[in-house]
Amino acid sequence: MTFNKILVANRGEIALRVIRTCREMGIKTVALYSDADMDSLPVKQADEAMHIGPALSRKSYLNQDAVIAAARETGADAVHPGYGFLSESASFAQACHDNGIIFIGPSSRTIARAGDKSAARQILINMGIPVIPGSDDVIATPEAASDAAEQVGYPVILKAAGGGGGRGMRIARNQKDLLGAFSVASAEAGAAFGNPALYLEKYIEKPRHIEIQILGDHFGNYVHLGERECSIQMRYQKLIEEAPSSFVDETLREQLGSTAIRIAKAFDYTNAGTMEFLVDKDKNFYFMEVNARVQVEHPVTELVTGLDIVRKQIDIAAGNELGLAQADILLNGWAMECRINASDPTDNFMPSPGEITSVILPGGPGVRLDTHIHDRYMVTPFYDSLIGKLCVWAPDRFQSVRRMKRALDEFEITGIATTIDFYKKVFENKQFQDGNIDTHFLEQMDNL
Amino acid sequence: MNKTIHTVTSPVMGTFYRSSAPDAPPLVEPGQTVKPEDIVCMIESMKIFTEIRCGRAGVVKKILVENEEPVMKNQALLEITLGEK
């Protein structure tokens, strides 16, 4: 079985990504747009488009009632939420269900259970899955944070209870830092997820961020699609991802993969999801969180597995069997992704909204570019700074690095500051080329 | 008396907020004495919050932008009357 029409409840590159697969599957699409996105590519590429509200996210893409109304009015039988916005909203998934619309993602109950990080943590501790020491509950006040920090020991990290992606995250190395960081982290969390609650955990120095992509259907079948190495981050925002990881051998991959599937089963997880781990230098791993959605960096996994993850999401949501066993998942070659952001690396990665006057896109063998930008595209300050994802595939890591350097050299965006030139420097760095990285790599790069 | 005005400007295009959280009181009010390191407002751009510091010591003369209004890069946000020299 499949769907007749899918409403894409998102914008930018991920809306375009979903529309592309729908078109290839012969499924009609509905794009939504705010005042700021009226002339966007997803609106052009979709079969239909509906206005959803003003530019501010909470009045448009986060407005659940408006999204549900649009789905009903257009007769969509399913909603794909992309990432961010309503993708990890249990109440939205429930509202879809209550209106007879299929939410392409895990059930409302699974999102709620996996998203309640303190409860999720306890479930996994009880299963013997290693987690990072931290507060058992949401931290309501700076004073409570201070007490929790004394228990686990500094340094500590504050994280948003309502979602991931680095919003609302702050590290504190002492009590003074912690008290100062609390209100800013809480405000960021509130703005990004509509939930200002924070939790706190011990901060592990020099870790790698390694995550496992899983797929699960409604018949209890699960597979993992191997790992993604996401250690190249700036302020907890991933910038470069790759698959596989040069740090993960077959043994660790099997351990991480089977752990990820155990976690998925514990939450009755269906559809595509990601289990994030921190891995220390001795290959001890700690579960961090479940990302109950398709992720920004999913293309690197697609490139090494040959699978279309969005297509799998749609098939699973439509009630089809996974049709894959673990033995079918073969990792082939090496894929890398650079997130092209509208931010200025020469000015502390300050956001750089503005008009793109012209753009020259990279291409050629082994290059995949997911982007919604074009000449005269206006990058507004209302949404996140991701304007494109430049991915490459090659038979091995060495050639993948070479290919990314070549593609970055071809890529020109004028009118706004972007991260392109910064990535050229990263890809010239010897330590990076050797795969000798951790989550602090970028902070220390100038000294390497 | 040799009073001059210091103008606090936005480093980025974004949305102006007078408080650090939706239910928090405004960071500063007109007439309030401020030190250079004091945070006087927040700018949200692309989901990133930037704390805007006063930069100079003085008294808040005027807040030039309404809460939650869009602002351009380099737009004037607040006027600070500098202290006597």
What is the 3 state secondary structure string of A344-357?
EHHHCCEECCEECC
Residue B24 to residue A342, Cβ atoms within 8 A: no
Q: Does A193 touch chain B (CB under 8 A)?
A: no
Specify if A114 maps to a domain. Answer: no
Domain boundary among A84, A104, A124: A104
Q: What is the ipTM of this complex?
A: 0.79
Q: What is the CATH number of the domain that holds A410?
A: 3.30.470.20
Q: What is the CATH number of the domain that holds A191?
A: 3.30.1490.20
How much is the pLDDT for A191? 79
Counted domains in chain A: 3
Average pLDDT on A372-390 reads: 96
Residue A115 predicted with pLDDT over 70:
yes
How much is the pLDDT for A419? 98
Cα A53 to Cα A215: distance, rounded to the nearest angstrom: 33
Cα A400 to Cα A392: distance, rounded to the nearest angstrom: 6
Q: What is the CATH number of the domain that holds A66?
A: 3.40.50.20
Residue A157: strand, helix, or coil: strand
Domain identity same for A169 and A219: no
Active site residue A235: no
How much is the pLDDT for A164? 67
Which residues have a Cβ under 8 Å from the Cβ of A249 and sit 6 or more positions away? none
Domain identity same for A288 and A403: yes
Residue A7 predicted with pLDDT over 50:
yes
Residue A27 predicted with pLDDT over 70:
yes
Q: Which of A11, A113, A121, A293 is catalytic?
A: A293
Show the beta-strand stretches assigned E in A59-129. Answer: 78-80, 102-103
Q: What is the CATH number of the domain that holds B43?
A: 2.40.50.100
The mean predicted confidence, pLDDT, of chain A is 94
Residue A274 confidence class, pLDDT cut points 50, 70, 90: very high
CB pairs under 8 A between A and B: 62
**pLDDT single digits (tens) B30-77:** 999 999 999 999 999 998 889 999 999 999 999 999 998 999 999 999
Residue B46 to residue A167, Cβ atoms within 8 A: no
Domain identity same for A82 and A225: no
Q: Does A186 touch chain B (CB under 8 A)?
A: yes
Q: Which residues does chain A have within 8 Å of residue B20's beta carbon, measured at their own beta carbons?
A: 183-184, 187
How much is the pLDDT for A447? 61
Q: Does A384 touch chain B (CB under 8 A)?
A: yes
Specify if A94 maps to a domain. Answer: yes
How much is the pLDDT for B84? 53
Residue A381 to residue B45, Cβ atoms within 8 A: yes
How much is the pLDDT for A82? 98
What is the residue range of A11's domain?
Answer: 5-104
Residue A187 to residue B12, Cβ atoms within 8 A: no
- Other Cβ atoms closer than 10 A to A335: 28
What is the residue range of B11's domain?
Answer: 5-82
Domain identity same for A10 and A30: yes
Domain identity same for A93 and A71: yes
Residue B13 to residue A381, Cβ atoms within 8 A: yes
Residue B79 predicted with pLDDT over 70:
yes
Residue A192: strand, helix, or coil: helix
Partner-chain residue, chosen from B11, B15, B22, that has the shortest CB–CB distance to A381:
B15
Among the ranges given (A4-8, A35-39, A132-136, A414-418), the one the predictor scored with the smallest mean pLDDT: A132-136
Domain boundary among A202, A233, A249: A202
Domain identity same for A213 and A334: yes
Distance of residue A137 Cα from the nearest chain B Cα, in angstroms: 21
Partner-chain residue, chosen from A56, A188, A353, that has the shortest CB–CB distance to B46:
A353
Residue A368 predicted with pLDDT over 80:
yes
Domain boundary among A62, A85, A104: A104
Percent of chain A with pLDDT over 70: 99
Domain identity same for A177 and A217: no
**pLDDT single digits (tens) A171-181:** 899 999 999 89
Domain identity same for A147 and A245: no
Residue A235 confidence class, pLDDT cut points 50, 70, 90: confident
Counted domains in chain B: 1
Residue A404 predicted with pLDDT over 90:
yes
Instruction: Please give, one letter per residue, the 3-state secondary structure of A282-330.
Output: CCCEEEEEEECCCCCCHHHHHHHHCCCHHHHHHHHHCCCCCCCCHHHCC
Domain identity same for A30 and A57: yes
- Evaluated on CA atoms A383, A385, A386, A387, the torsion sign reads positive
Domain identity same for A271 and A213: yes
By CB atoms closer than 10 A (0-12, 13-18, 19+), residue B85 is exposed
Specify if A128 maps to a domain. Answer: no
Specify if A223 maps to a domain. Answer: yes
Partner-chain residue, chosen from B13, B49, B70, that has the shortest CB–CB distance to A187:
B49
Residue B1 confidence class, pLDDT cut points 50, 70, 90: very low
